[in-house]
Amino acid sequence: MRIFGIDPGSRRTGYGCIDTDGSRCRLVVCGAVTVSTRIPFSERLAGIYDELVSLLATHRPECVAIEDVFFARNAKSSLRLGHARGVAMLAASKAGLTVSEYAPTEIKLAVVGYGRAEKQQVQQMVALLLRLDTPPTPHDASDALAIALCHAHTAAGPAATRPAVHQTAVRSWRQYRPGSGS
């Protein structure tokens, strides 16, 4: 299975593509889409979208995994991140790909074994799991690979029977139960 991971950002969006046979993972490509902060925000979003569309067409993944929104102290930064994330999801959706979402702590737990791991720990484990001589850079690329690895581990393991975050059956806040996966 070929998995394309995306770590959305309004200045730099990380991407990482891996192949997995269910037990081993291999790096296909990784990097970051960087857009100038000197251009209007709408043009930055268009640049991210165009580059992701091109990467998805070139590498032809079977699915896309993306980091779920986390809460930040700065509302403006959160909104911009949400816009970049929406553009990434649109690119995947337009390519006809299923999108799975993972919380940052879930990604770190799947890759490092600790949900509050530091970026350097994630980077080192990504290199170890993909048998790379050096850790992938920038951090956005290693984070995107971690997201793809999280999906590979989640989809192949017992958690594969649980619905993805975006497919949760909860229809109302009254049905929500913390820690139950719904």
User: What is the CATH number for 19?
Assistant: 3.30.420.10
27 pLDDT higher than 80: yes
Q: Average pLDDT, whole number, for the chain?
A: 87
Asked, for residue 172, whether it belongs to a domain, the answer is no
pLDDT in tens, 128-150: 999 999 999 999 999 999 999 99
Find the mean pLDDT for residues 62-91.
89
Which residue among 51, 106, 140, 143 is the active-site one? 140
Asked, for residue 50, whether it belongs to a domain, the answer is yes
Percent of the chain with pLDDT over 70: 84
With a CB cutoff of 8 Å and minimum separation 6, the contacts of 159 are none
78 pLDDT higher than 70: yes
- Considering only 69-83, 87-101, 164-178, which range has the smallest mean pLDDT? 164-178
19 in active site: no
Asked, for residue 182, whether it belongs to a domain, the answer is no
Asked, for residue 170, whether it belongs to a domain, the answer is no
164 pLDDT higher than 60: no
- Give the model's confidence band at 71: pLDDT under 50 very low, under 70 low, under 90 confident, else very high: low
- Enumerate the H helices of the chain as residue ranges: 41-59, 75-94, 104-111, 119-129, 139-156
Percent of the chain with pLDDT over 90: 76
pLDDT at 75: 83
Asked, for residue 107, whether it belongs to a domain, the answer is yes
Name the one residue in this structure whose structure tokens are 């970026």. Answer: 119
pTM, 2 dp: 0.84
Which residue among 67, 101, 106, 143 is the active-site one? 67
Report yes or no: 149 and 110 within 8 Å, Cβ to Cβ. yes
Separation of alpha carbons 23 and 27, rounded Å: 14
101 in active site: no
With a CB cutoff of 8 Å and minimum separation 6, the contacts of 51 are 13, 33
How many structural domains are present in the chain?
A: 1
Separation of alpha carbons 160 and 162, rounded Å: 5
Asked, for residue 38, whether it belongs to a domain, the answer is yes
Range(s) of the domain holding residue 50: 2-153
Name the one residue in this structure whose structure tokens are 């929104």. Answer: 69
Which residue among 7, 51, 101, 143 is the active-site one? 7
pLDDT at 172: 43
7 in active site: yes
Asked, for residue 96, whether it belongs to a domain, the answer is yes
- The percent helix, strand, coil of the chain (3-state, each to 5) is 45, 20, 35
Asked, for residue 159, whether it belongs to a domain, the answer is no
